[in-house]
Amino acid sequence: MCFLVRVCFLLFVALTLAAGVSAGKERRNVLFIIADDLRTSLGCYGDSVVKSPNIDQLASKSQVFLNAYAQQAVCAPSRTSMLTSRRPDTTRLYDFSSYWRVHAGNYTTLPQHLKSQGYVTMSVGKVFHQGIASNFTDDFPYSWSVPAYHPPSYHYENLEMCRGKDGALHRNLLCAVNVSEQPGAVLPDMESAAQAVGLLKSRRGAEQPFFLAVGFHKPHIPFRIPQEYLSLYPLDKMTLAPDPDVPELLPPVAYNPWMDLKVRDDVRQLNTSFPYGPIPKDFQLLIRQHYYAAVSYVDAQVGRLLTALDELGLSNDTMVVLTSDHGWSLGEHGEWAKYSNFNVATQVPLMFYVPGVTSDRPAASTFPFVDVFSQSERSFKNDRVVKNMVELVDVFPTISSLVGLKAPGPCPEVSLKVELCTEGSNRASTFRRREKRPNKEHIAFSQYPRPADTPQLNSDLPLLKDIKVMGYSMRTWDYRYTLWVGFNPATFQANMTDVHGGELYMLADDPGEDFNIYSILEHVPIVTKVDALPQTVSVQERMKLQLLYLTAGMKVSGGKA
């Protein structure tokens, strides 16, 4: 049945695209790959544990941004923000329960912009978040030339598919399976990879350039992955997070109680106390093992796509972009999952392969498939890395510019009625010159909503109507500064003078963000100065000034809190 569905879909695609208008072959194609919940646990980002040979190979021929950050560490808001190049306060999407075109503004998306310029745009897997957040259509027909494809086997993803020690099937967090025993003998990301390869084949020799977005569901929970990937990570070689305790001076509003793990059958049996009760260490090791195994599983699917580009002769004129919607905590700070402003939850991999720019145009094979199970030791070598802070809102204008289109211009202060503009920055100029040293003035912003000052059952995913506090974060080369302030969900307005808590980490001495020095500093003069600013001054500009005042005071006192 699945095979017939795929054949019918590809036939529909071929007939639809045959009616398209030729757009000139000089424009680069784009293969846009987005993983779900993938933090920078990759070999090319310096993780010595994970095995990610295919992504590392892509990185070796790409420009790699080492400090890229999502705007909100949860799926729907992050994906919508990236694809519209608008921050969550502009999309007004902080949960999963509204469609931005109706709720905020009729914003032009990245694929919609390319489609309007003659591109064939196609979506496979999880690109937009499914459901209300993308109008139950993945924003078709605005963003896509043909309806988005979702793997049929995803239907089983959150059912009782995980065999426990008792032999029965459960809805578990840990869910390594024998694929041959699964419905259709397949898993969702395998289906998405196969579908994407089929679409690439349909574009071979076509005149119109294409934008193919492929969204892999892993390493998102449950860890329903082929069981053989666990063998890559022997449990006796796994280690705990280096900072597994909740920081003493962390304001309660900042803590993520990871409820989506606690509702899983196997985690529920651990009887952890709410909200801070730790997971037993032996189970922590299992979670970390399964997460890494899921990353290697995704890496293999990425390898299938890259190898297909080679085999189809598309590597010469196809730009490849790989990223994630946000990161994932693996026990750092006593937290799991995303739902916070910590770096492990907001930092993402981001790399651009641009043939003839980041790598010489290949004569033959560019991306030979690397079997992770027979992989010899490899090291990532690439001097084309960018250490400056960048954001996912930068992706839209950067891709537009790199394919030869005019990038969207900067948004005005109020842009609800402006369809095409960007709240990010065009990073295309970084591809023309090597970064000599990091620019400490570059800043990345993120935010996270909470329903109360203390952890609640809905703290991870509060609905819009329940949001009472918004945590705004900014990252520089030296600091991560976060201010938790009152928020009115009816007006979408933050009250920057209604401070519920703060965080300040000196990253040079504290890269793990374990020592919050905010409460040690004197804030009254800072708040008074910023209060005097006009209301039209943005949250981002206010925070820049606050951090300037804070750090200036620290420098006067010799840099000691």
DSSP 417-484: T-SS-BSS---GGGGTS---S--TT--EEEEEEESSSS--TTSSS--GGG--EEEEEEE-SSEEEEEE
Is there a contact between 153 and 132 (Cβ–Cβ < 8 Å)?
Answer: no
Catalytic residues: 75, 129
Distance CA 154, CA 225 (A): 12
What's the pLDDT score for residue 544?
A: 87
Q: Domain segments of the chain: what residues?
A: 2-431, 444-556
Please tell me the least confidently modeled range out of 5-14, 73-82, 112-121: 5-14
Please give the Cα distance from 244 to 140 (Å, whole number): 43
Q: Which of 21-30, 88-97, 488-497 has the lowest mean pLDDT?
A: 21-30
Question: What is the percent of the chain where pLDDT is above 90?
Answer: 80
Quick check: bond before 222 cis, omega within 30?
yes
Q: What is the pLDDT of residue 519?
A: 84
pLDDT on residue 522: 63
Q: How far is CA 371 from the centre of its chain?
A: 25
- Distances 117 to 145, 315, 478 between C-alpha atoms, Å: 12, 22, 41
pLDDT category of residue 24 using cuts at 50, 70 and 90: very low
Confidence (pLDDT) at 521: 78
CA–CA distances in Å: residue 352 to residues 398, 413, 418, 445: 10, 29, 28, 21
Model confidence pLDDT, tens digit, residues 434-489: 887 778 789 999 999 999 999 999 999 999 999 999 999 999 999 999 999 999 99
Please compute the mean of the pLDDT values over residues 66-94 and round it to a whole number. 98
Report how far residue 30's alpha carbon sits from residue 212's, in angstroms, rounded to the nearest whole number.
Answer: 6
Say yes or no to pLDDT of 9 above 70.
no
Q: Would you state the pLDDT for residue 524?
A: 55
Whether pLDDT at 141 is above 60: yes
Q: What is residue 532's predicted lDDT score, i.e. its pLDDT? A: 66
Q: Is the distance from CB of 118 to CB of 484 less than 8 angstroms?
A: no
| Average pLDDT of the chain to the nearest whole number | 91
User: Residues near 176 by Cβ (< 8 Å), separated by ≥ 6?
Assistant: 223, 224, 225, 226, 227, 229, 230, 290, 293
Q: Is the pLDDT of residue 539 over 80?
A: yes
Is the domain defined by 2-431 classed in CATH 3.40.720.10?
yes
**Per-residue pLDDT tens digits for 496-524:** 889 999 999 999 999 999 999 998 876 65
Q: Are strands 210-215 and 29-35 parallel, antiparallel or unpaired?
A: parallel
Instruction: Tell me which H or E stretch contains 33.
Output: strand 29-35
Residue 132, both tokens? 């209300």
The pLDDT assigned to 463 comes to: 97
Catalogue the long-range contacts made by 527-533 (C-beta closer than 8 Å, 24 or more residues apart). 527/497, 527/499, 530/496, 531/497
* Residue positions counted in the chain: 561
